[in-house]
Structure 1
C-alpha cells in the first residue's frame, strides 16, 4: 500500500520552528560591536618606532638632570646647610645648634673635622657618611671641603632684647642697624665687625633686607652664634623707640652733616645706621637719625661698601670710647 503525503521520502521531513525563549549570546556580540576604545598614540605602542624614540628622549632628559639626591638627605623646610671646615668648626665651637652632620669618609682623618665629629657624637647628633657627589648636590656646588652641618631656622630676638643686653653689659649700649641691606655677605661682614667691637647686636627690617642664612653664618666667621640679631617690622618706628630709651641714632652717608672723626660719640648709647648698597639711607630713616656723618675718603673713590663703612665706624667709636674711659 502506498504511503500518503510525503512520508517515506528522504529529505521531505517538515521542520517546525521552535517557539518561546531561546538562549542568547550573553552580550558577546554587543561588546564586540562596542570596540576597544580610542587608538593609543603611536609613542605609547611598544611595537611602534615612535615608542623607542620616546624612551630615548626620556633617558636623555634623565641624564641631563643628573643624579638625584636620596630623600633621606634632603634638608627639611627652614633648615640650611653650613659647609666648609672653618665655618662648620667655628659654628660648632660657638655652641650653634645643629641637627645632622654630613661628612665624606676620607675627611674624618682631618684633625679639625675629627673634633667636629667627636663633638657631634657627644651631643648625640647624627653623623651621616655621604659620597662626594651627594655632598656636591646637597651644597649646590659650594666649596664644602668634605663637611656640612644642618642648622635649624635662625631665632631672631626683639629690639628690646638688644637694649636689655646693653644694660646688662654695664657700659653704654651699641646697636648696629641696617637699612635695606640685601646682600647676605654684607650682613655677615657687619655681624663680624659688630662682634669684634663690642656691639650688643644687629637690627634689621623684615622686608627688603637679607636675613640670617647659611651664607651669613659662613661670612660672619662664627659671630652669628655669639651676636643676636633683632628683626623688626618697621625700622623707623624701632629707631624712634630706641631714641625714647635714650639712644642717639647716627646714620652713615657720603654726604653727611659732619665727619665721623669729629663727631662726639663717646658717652651715650648709640645706634649706628648703615644704608643699602646702592641707595644708601632711605628718606624716612635719614630723617629719623639724630646725626648723619660721613667717613672721609679719597675724592676719587665714589663710596664705601656698606659692611666696610660699618666696620670703619665701629672701629672709630670703639677708639673714642676707650680714650674716654681712660681719662
Structure 2
C-alpha cells in the first residue's frame, strides 16, 4: 500500500513507494523478516506493544506516538490494533528461484517431505490471497505463484490477512499461470487443481511421496480453461451441507493440508524421506 497521508500532516509520509503494514502480528512478523523498517506509528494509550517496540528500536526505526485517528488514515481501517509500520515494498522472486529452493535439502524446513507450491489463478480478493499465503506458510510450502495481471495485488490488505506470512513466504509473479504450471511440472511436480465439479475427491488421489503444486482458481469462476487443462488432476472436497462450495481460501487450505497429510503418512510408511516420482510415472 502506498502511503496516503496528506502533505502537511506532521510526521505523516507523503505519497511514497514504501509499504504500510498494520496490526500487531503483521508488524511483528515484518520486523522478524529482516525487511528494512524506518518508522513505526503507535496509537496514544496503546498497551501490550512492548515486544514490537523493542524489536523496532533494535532495528533503528523511528517510533512516533500519534492519535488513533492518524492510524485510521494510515491503515485505511480501524482494525490496526494500535500500530502501523512503514517498510520497503515486498519484493518478488523469480519462478526459477522457487524451483531451485524446492531442490534444496531443507526446503520449507522439512527436508524429508516432498516440496509443495501453491499456485493462485486470478484470485481477486486480497483477503483470500493473504489467507492462502498464511495457510501455505503453515503447511510448509516452498512458496507461492501468482498472476501479474487480472489478479489481486499483494497489498497491505493481503499482508494483514496473511498474519505476517507474506513477510516470509517467497512469492513469484508470472505473466501466464498456465505457462508457469508447465515449467513447474517439468521439475517433477504434479499440478493438483481445486475444482468443485471434479469427479475425484481429494483423498482419493495418492500424492504420497510426490512434489505437488496446489492450484486454486478465482472466486466464483474457478480455474481458467487453460490452467484447468494444465492440471494433472482435478479434485474436489465433499460438500455435505446446503452450501454448494467453499470459499477459495478455505478450499485451498484444506487441499494443501490433505496433500501434507498424505506426505506425512507416506513418510511414516517408508521410514525415510520418500523419493519423488518422475514425470514418466504420471497417469
Same fold (TM over 0.5): yes
| Mapping 1:48-197, distance limit 5 Å | 70=9, 72-107=11-46, 110-111=47-48, 113-168=49-104, 169=107, 170=111, 171-197=113-139
Gaps of 5+ in 1: 1-66
Instruction: State the distance in 2 between where 1:99 and 1:236 align.
Output: 38
Q: In structure 2, what is the equivalent of residue 261 of structure 1? A: 203
**Closer/same/farther in 2, CA of residues 235 and 75 from structure 1, 3 Å limit:** farther
- Name the SS for the 1:73 alignment partner: coil
Q: Which is greater in Rg? A: 1
Instruction: State the distance in 2 between where 1:141 and 1:192 align.
Output: 21
Instruction: State the distance in 1 between where 2:14 and 2:81 align.
Output: 19
Q: Would you say the 8 A contact 1:163–1:173 is kept in 2?
A: no
Instruction: State the distance in 2 between where 1:208 and 1:130 align.
Output: 37
Instruction: State the distance in 2 between where 1:277 and 1:196 align.
Output: 22
User: How many residues are aligned here?
Assistant: 258
- Name the SS for the 2:228 alignment partner: helix
Question: Runs ≥4 in structure 1, deviation > 6 angstroms?
Answer: none
Instruction: State the distance in 2 between where 1:196 and 1:133 align.
Output: 34
**Closer/same/farther in 2, CA of residues 106 and 208 from structure 1, 3 Å limit:** same
Choose between structure 1 and 2: higher helix proportion: 1
**Closer/same/farther in 2, CA of residues 130 and 229 from structure 1, 3 Å limit:** same
Instruction: State the distance in 1 between where 2:198 and 2:103 align.
Output: 29
**TM-score computed with the length of structure 2 as normaliser:** 0.85
Q: Deviations over 1:84-141 (max 9, x none)?
A: 233323332344432211123423xx24x22222222221111123223322322234
Q: Deviations over 1:134-171 (max 9, x none)?
A: 22322234322321101221101111111111111244
Q: CA deviation at 1:282?
A: 0.4
Q: Would you say the 8 A contact 1:74–1:138 is kept in 2?
A: no
**Closer/same/farther in 2, CA of residues 173 and 73 from structure 1, 3 Å limit:** same
Q: Would you say the 8 A contact 1:94–1:222 is kept in 2?
A: no
Q: In structure 2, what is the equivalent of residue 233 of structure 1? A: 175
Q: In structure 2, what is the equivalent of residue 48 of structure 1? A: none
Instruction: State the distance in 1 between where 2:98 and 2:26 align.
Output: 25
Gaps of 5+ in 2: 1-5, 270-283
**TM-score computed with the length of structure 1 as normaliser:** 0.74
Q: Deviations over 1:232-252 (max 9, x none)?
A: 111111111111222111111
Q: CA deviation at 1:257?
A: 3.3
- Name the SS for the 2:85 alignment partner: strand
Q: Deviations over 1:259-288 (max 9, x none)?
A: 111001112211110110010000000011
Q: Would you say the 8 A contact 1:257–1:291 is kept in 2?
A: no
Instruction: State the distance in 2 between where 1:306 and 1:297 align.
Output: 14
Q: In structure 2, what is the equivalent of residue 49 of structure 1? A: none
Instruction: State the distance in 2 between where 1:151 and 1:216 align.
Output: 15
Q: CA deviation at 1:197?
A: 1.1
CA RMSD of aligned residues (A): 1.9
Q: RCO higher in 1 or 2 (8 Å CA, sep ≥ 6)?
A: 2
